[in-house]
Amino acid sequence: MWFVSSNEHKFGEARRILGRMGMELYHHKASLPEVQSHSLKDIALAKAASARSLVGGAVLVEDDGLFIDSLKGFPGPYSSYVFDTIGNAGGDRAASFRAVVAYADGSRTAAFKGEVRGRIADAVRGSGWGYDPVFIPDGAGGTFAQIDKDRLSHRGEALAAFARWYGGGQRPPDYSAA
Ligand code: ITT
């Protein structure tokens, strides 16, 4: 199935995670229009619809955000735009990384969420992509850039939920995720 995204890191992780579950993913590199919304789920579902009009067949897309508690959840869905400012978030550093993966084919559409709680590091630690060097998941000894993140990442959780549904014929979860 096609994973439609402009982000090679996201695709690389998704391919690895689903590969471990026996599913094959192909990259269609494209920047999908993002509707303006506070809801990752709404954004992901809209991305899935435009991905379908781009490639047809079964598609998987993802929308993510880093939500910093002391900033009332900012930057959240706007994470890709404020990448450079994140190191300045002082005070209470609690935060969460969230992902919503949306699947669509000719007859079905479904969305799956993943979330990991953690905190923003005092300084950049490790060299990873995006916010990986500044996000320390709860219980981990380092930032996402310093550990094997697949097992406990927001992306891993969302994709595992997707794979359970896709492989097991279960009903899609019904949730109202931010
Ligand atoms: P798409 O083409 O798939 O939309 P994107 O990079 O624009 O790719 P998002 O709109 O979901 O993706 O942006 C979320 C941003 O949050 C992303 O660009 C990264 O800066 C950051 N991000 C998301 N997941 C991350 C992860 O696992 N590690 C580090 N940074 C991450």
- How far apart CA 145 and CA 96 sit, in angstroms, is 16
The pTM for the full model equals: 0.89
Query: What pLDDT sits at residue 177?
Result: 45
CA of 77 to the centre of ligand 1 (A): 9
Q: Is 131 in the pocket of ligand 1 (CB under 6 A)?
A: yes
CA of 126 to the centre of ligand 1 (A): 18
Residue with token string 């506070």:
38
Q: Is 157 in the pocket of ligand 1 (CB under 6 A)?
A: no
- In the chain the domains, ranked by start, together with CATH numbers, are 2-168 (3.90.950.10)
- Substitution site in 40, 80, 148, 151 for ligand 1 pocket (most atoms within 8 Å of beta carbon): 80
Taking the CA of residue 132 as reference, the ligand 1 atom at the shortest distance is: 29
Query: One digit per residue, pLDDT tens: the chain, 178 residues?
Result: 999 999 999 999 999 999 999 999 999 999 998 898 989 999 999 999 999 999 989 999 999 999 988 877 777 777 776 655 555 555 678 999 999 999 999 899 999 999 999 999 988 999 999 999 999 999 999 999 999 999 899 999 999 999 999 987 555 565 544 4
Taking the CA of residue 32 as reference, the ligand 1 atom at the shortest distance is: 2
